[in-house]
């Protein structure tokens, strides 16, 4: 049974909302509505609040059942950034549940990986962890991920560039759903091998070749002590060779592993490499 919202908080909200509406009307009369009003007060958590469990599902998805869909494009995750470990389970569960609801186990499900962003986060990596959780859902069949690590906004959780987001999702749909022979993914980590003091990082989806946009940055390596340092990197075919004089025996590598990282690696077709972390030993 859903808990009821605190009556006192509801009353305070209603009074604050009434005052806000009056201020908006007053501003419109004085300024002809040219100045955007302040945001309305936040809705009290309780019945009717969009964030209640199942609220969004019943309000937005359930009414569509049982209409037929060709596929689903999904852009979400930011509110889960502080709970990436939980998202590793929730996101695949959501995909399976929606497929079950629409009675199509192979329903294509393509999503946008969280872009670069700089939240108030002392760890500096909560969004990197969320991106990793999103990437792990690619283990499910009929899935695809549009990487946007290069087109986000450091100080705006809602980036302005939506056109490239749509283009990248469309490429996935064209390739995976409609059978077009086109590149739909940038480079994805495949495996690593150590040769002396260097790590050779091999990428899949790099048939057309790898390229750097500007200086190749964003790679870090660490030894068994797990102390990461910035790595020198160079492209060799479908591999990136990384090393640092500070790490004689590297065993861990990561790329674009930060909330708002530098991202410079692309496939020649123009799609960015997916952020990752990997190692010859467990990464955690």
SS3 string of the chain? CCCCCCHHHHHHHHHHHHHHHHHHHHHHHHHCCCCCCCCCCCCCCCCCCCCCCCHHHHHHHHHHCCCCCCCEEECCCHHHHHHHHHHHHHHHHHHHHHHHHCCCCCCCEEEECCCCCCCCCCCCCHHHHHHHHHHHHHHCCCEEEECCCCCCCCCCCCCCCCHHHHHHHHHHHHHHHCCCCCCCCCCEEEEEEEECCEEEEEEECCCCCEEECCCCCCEEEECCCCCCEECEEEEECCEEEEEECCECCCCEEEECCCCCCCCCEEECCCCECCCEEEECCCCC
Distance CA 97, CA 62 (A): 12
Dihedrals phi, psi of 272, to nearest 5 degrees:
-75, 155
Same domain flag for 67 and 131: yes
Specify if 20 maps to a domain: yes
Same domain flag for 79 and 167: yes
Specify if 148 maps to a domain: yes
pLDDT tens-digit series, residues 133-161: 999 999 999 999 999 999 999 999 889 99
pLDDT tens-digit series, residues 77-92: 788 899 999 999 999 9
Here the CATH number for the domain that contains residue 126 is: 3.40.50.1110
Same domain flag for 165 and 220: no
Element (H, E) at 167: helix 163-172
Task: Indicate the residue among 118, 151, 177 that finishes a domain.
Answer: 177
pTM for the full predicted model:
0.84
**What pLDDT, on the 0 to 100 scale, is given for residue 58?**
84
By residue range, what is the domain housing residue 17? 1-53
CB of 87 closer than 8 Å to CB of 134:
yes
Per-residue confidence at 14, pLDDT binned at 50, 70, 90?
A: confident
Same domain flag for 134 and 223: no
State how many domains the chain has.
Answer: 3
Same domain flag for 211 and 129: no
């Amino acid at each position: 049974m859903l808990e009821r919202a605190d009556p006192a908080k509801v009353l305070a909200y209603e009074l604050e909302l009434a005052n806000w509406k009056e201020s908006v009307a007053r501003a419109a009369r004085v300024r002809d509505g040219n100045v955007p009003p302040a945001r309305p007060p936040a809705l009290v958590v309780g019945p009717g609040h969009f964030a209640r469990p199942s609220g969004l599902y019943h309000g937005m998805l359930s009414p569509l059942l049982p209409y037929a869909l060709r596929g689903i494009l999904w852009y979400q995750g930011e509110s889960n950034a502080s709970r990436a470990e939980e998202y590793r389970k929730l996101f695949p569960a959501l995909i399976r549940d929606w497929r079950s609801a629409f009675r199509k186990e192979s329903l294509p499900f393509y999503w946008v990986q969280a872009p670069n962003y700089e939240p108030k986060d002392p760890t500096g990596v909560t969004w990197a962890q969320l991106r990793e959780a999103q990437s792990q859902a690619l283990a499910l069949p009929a899935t695809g991920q549009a990487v946007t690590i290069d087109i986000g906004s450091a100080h705006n959780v809602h980036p302005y560039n939506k056109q490239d987001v749509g283009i990248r999702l469309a490429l996935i749909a064209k390739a995976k759903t409609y059978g077009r022979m086109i590149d739909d993914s940038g480079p994805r980590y495949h495996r690593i091998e150590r040769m002396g003091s260097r790590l050779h990082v091999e990428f899949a989806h790099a048939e057309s070749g790898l390229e750097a946009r500007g200086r190749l940055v964003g790679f870090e390596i660490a030894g068994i002590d797990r102390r990461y340092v910035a790595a020198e990197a160079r492209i060799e075919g479908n591999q990136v060779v990384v090393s640092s004089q500070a790490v004689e025996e590297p065993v861990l590598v990561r790329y674009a592993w930060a909330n708002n990282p530098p991202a410079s690696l692309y496939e020649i077709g123009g799609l960015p490499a997916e952020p990752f972390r990997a190692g010859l030993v467990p990464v955690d």
